[in-house]
Amino acid sequence: MQQYVNVTIDGAKIRAIKGTSVLDTAIEYGICIPHLCHVPFISDIGACRLCIVENVVNGRSKVTTSCTLNVEEGMVIWTNTEKIRKLRRNLAELLVAQAPNSRAIQDVAVRCGVKEVRYPFRNEDCVLCGRCIRVCEEIWQARAKGFVGRGKNRHVDYVFGVRPDFCKQCEACIQICPMTIPPCDGPIKDGEEYLCGKCEAQLMITEEMPLGSCSWCKLGEGFGCGRYVGVLK
């Protein structure tokens, strides 16, 4: 039998399924928490840190990622406070400065309120969200790739750098990768990176949206935003 716990997210009293994460619960109830490394139905590692929330325990608030935090009875969560917005904006800025050539990351950055990027752009191809690795391991049970190296040298690679026989070439890793969606205006050239910021205009509720698209914005569609699935149910 499914057990329930009562949590308060942004002041709303919510009856959540025990054992689910705060992020899943919030999405289920239409509360927007930006996220990047979280994909529904695979495990969470809390790498991108964009889904941070304030968890108030005994009057003290603690910043933690909502994807790794499971709901508990009486929990009080704030997802959109001044502090969280600022931290989230800084994190998104770091991400988009690293990899401006992805629509998914540009969208997330704009949604987190990044207007200008104060660091030099780097135009990297990977932000190490680990989506591909977890899909490969958990959905396809292939374990064909993983993280290699530490710190600055960390990258995604096959075992010993060679595609192993047990890679089923299902291309799930490519489909789930946030870097495979180029920005609306096409790939940005090196040295000319920018944030167009146009997507901000889409951050509103429109009633004419067809069934199956997100009720809040269309930003997440392209890269399998969790909220998209949430509304489908």
Q: Which residues bind another protein (CB under 8 A)?
A: 44-50, 52, 63-65, 68-70, 83, 86-87, 90-91, 94-95, 97-98, 118-120, 127-128, 147, 149-154
Q: How far is the CB of 146 from another protein (least distance, A)?
A: 8
**Crossing angle for the helix pair 82-98 and 103-111, to the nearest 10 degrees:** 160
- Calculate the dihedral angle through the C-alpha atoms of 124, 130, 16, 202, rounding to the nearest 10 degrees: 30
Nearer to another protein, 31 or 50 (CB): 50
Please count the residues of the chain: 233
How does DSSP classify residue 70? B
Q: How far is the CB of 44 from another protein (least distance, A)?
A: 8
Nearer to another protein, 150 or 233 (CB): 150
Q: How far is the CB of 113 from another protein (least distance, A)?
A: 14
**Closest C-alpha to 154, from 133, 178, 179:** 133
Task: Show Cβ contacts of residue 82 under 8 Å, excluding neighbours closer than 6 positions.
Answer: none
Distances (CA, A) of 82 to 39, 50, 78, 198, 207: 26, 15, 10, 23, 29
Name the helix (H) or strand (E) containing 75.
strand 75-78
Nearer to another protein, 155 or 163 (CB): 155
Q: How far is the CB of 153 from another protein (least distance, A)?
A: 8
Nearer to another protein, 144 or 214 (CB): 144
Q: How far is the CB of 171 from another protein (least distance, A)?
A: 25
Nearer to another protein, 127 or 173 (CB): 127
